[in-house]
Structure 1
């Protein structure tokens, strides 16, 4: 099964160095649209509703304290583990979201129901490890 670190590796190998925050948001949209188009998750890891948007804890652990990430950051990843269909989804997501800034992507997630619902009544900037429900992600993006 494809892991989030494999997707991260593919993203930075193909599209180059980027901020860690941008990587998490792109991985989030890759997961969302893969679930919509193929009715199954791209990878099993969950996103948590952090203050700056969706984050995968296991990826964060790999790049902690790094602003920028690249292919050497995710040495344990294997982009070759992705199927051609998975790469097509990632590439389509990148064609739409790839030129956006990390802040733009973060702001977008803050307006969308899956992150908003997972955050609940938390004040802005408050820490949270609440999982963003995959069912909520699928339902929201399927309706777009």
Structure 2
């Protein structure tokens, strides 16, 4: 059963060869490969019109609600001991990926298909 009836991502989820992928997240974090993604304490906000007005902004970890962080931690704890191969095998047995996947295409997995699968 779905614990929360709100999608984790507003971005689309696609059926790729090795399973479901959020392309925006993949492209943002692929540089880390299989390593840990570091936490950040600050970032630079660039001024498009005047680079000299760019400034360092302290990162505030408020984008994700505390209750969602708890849910995310539960999911991570549940699947932390699974290998990449195990996770691929698991998603390849789930109908949302099966129904959307076609070789050499990045078809979207509809949120309703995910919701129906995990709510049954």
Do they superpose with TM above 0.5?
A: yes
Deviation at 1:79, TM superposition (A): 4.3
Q: List structure 1 segments (4+ residues) > 4 angstroms apart after TM superposition.
A: 75-79
Q: Could you say what the CA RMSD is over the residues aligned between the two structures, in angstroms?
A: 2.4
2:38 maps to what in 1?
A: 71
Match of 1:92 among 63, 74, 89: 74
TM-score by length of 1: 0.62
SS of 1:37's equivalent? coil
Mapped to 1, the partners of 2:65 and 2:117 lie a distance apart of 25
- Greater helix fraction, Structure 1 or Structure 2: 1
When residues 63 and 95 of structure 1 are mapped into structure 2, their CA distance, relative to the original with a 3 A threshold, is closer
Matches within 5 A, 1:104-143: 104-119=86-101, 122=102, 126-143=103-120
Deviation at 1:78, TM superposition (A): 6.4
- Greater strand fraction, Structure 1 or Structure 2: 2
TM-score by length of 2: 0.73
**What are structure 2's unaligned runs of at least 5 residues?**
44-58
Mapped to 2, the partners of 1:129 and 1:84 lie a distance apart of 32
1:27 maps to what in 2?
A: none
